[in-house]
Amino acid sequence: MSEIGVKALDHTVQETNIWLKAIEQRLGIASRQHAYNALRAVLHVLRDRVPLATAVNLGAQLPLLIRGIYYEGWHHAATPTKDRHLEEFVDGIFQQLPPQFPVDPLTAARGIFEILWEKLDPGEFDKLMGHLPVPLRNLREPAT
């Protein structure tokens, strides 16, 4: 018997848990809730800094439940936020995270960018990164 009893929903729950577990491991945290909070914060700040078409393309690549997190509360602005500095981006993430979050926002951003790079189509991820200022593109550290 499946977890929920609906094959399509079981699959999306499993896929979401795979993402959250990867985030836990990447960030060195042992909490699905913290992994969810980090993913949500970074996705919200990221989607508000890219053009509409890029934001929609990114959303379309995400698993169904994560797509819901991504689009939660979104009202597309006519002009994306133009934070040119890493500090502004990281501060946006900090504002989205709950108090006393166990990982600093820069580490959370780096970890989520790594997960996006691993899980998304490489060409689409590169297009997404192309819309970001250079300091934000560097959040995805090269593999060591």
Query: Residue 87: inside a domain, yes or no?
Result: yes
Scanning the structure block, which residue is given the tokens 């896929």?
Answer: 15
Cβ neighbours, 10 Å, residue 68:
13
Q: Which of these ranges, 19-33, 39-53, 120-134, has the smallest mean pLDDT?
A: 120-134
Query: Residue 93: inside a domain, yes or no?
Result: yes
Report which DSSP code applies to 75: -
Query: Residue 143: inside a domain, yes or no?
Result: no
Query: Residue 2: inside a domain, yes or no?
Result: no
Query: Residue 13: inside a domain, yes or no?
Result: yes
Q: What is the mean pLDDT of the chain?
A: 87
pLDDT band of residue 143 (cuts 50, 70, 90) is very low
Question: Residue 51 belongs to what domain range?
Answer: 7-137
Backbone angles phi, psi at 91, to 5 degrees: -65, -35
* Each residue's pLDDT tens digit, 103-115: 999 999 999 999 9
The pLDDT of residue 144 is above 50? no
Give the CA distances from residue 89 to residues 4, 9, 22, in Å, rounded to whole numbers and listed in that order. Answer: 37, 33, 23
Q: Distance between CA atoms of 41 and 97, rounded to whole angstroms?
A: 6
For range 90-104, the mean pLDDT? 95
CB 108 within 8 A of CB 93: yes
Q: Name every residue whose Cβ is closer than 8 Å to that of residue 140 and which is 6 or more positions away in sequence.
A: 110, 113, 114, 116, 117, 129
Query: Residue 144: inside a domain, yes or no?
Result: no
Q: Residue 32 is encoded by which pair of tokens?
A: 């699905």
pLDDT computed for residue 8 by the predictor: 73
Query: Residue 131: inside a domain, yes or no?
Result: yes
Query: Residue 74: inside a domain, yes or no?
Result: yes
For range 21-43, the mean pLDDT? 96
pLDDT computed for residue 50 by the predictor: 84
pLDDT band of residue 1 (cuts 50, 70, 90) is very low
Report which DSSP code applies to 140: S
Q: Name every residue whose Cβ is closer than 8 Å to that of residue 125 and which is 6 or more positions away in sequence.
A: 116, 117
* Each residue's pLDDT tens digit, 67-81: 999 999 888 766 666
Check which CATH number belongs to the domain holding 43 and give it.
1.10.490.110
Overall domain count for the chain: 1
pLDDT band of residue 125 (cuts 50, 70, 90) is confident
Q: Residue 128 is encoded by which pair of tokens?
A: 């997404």
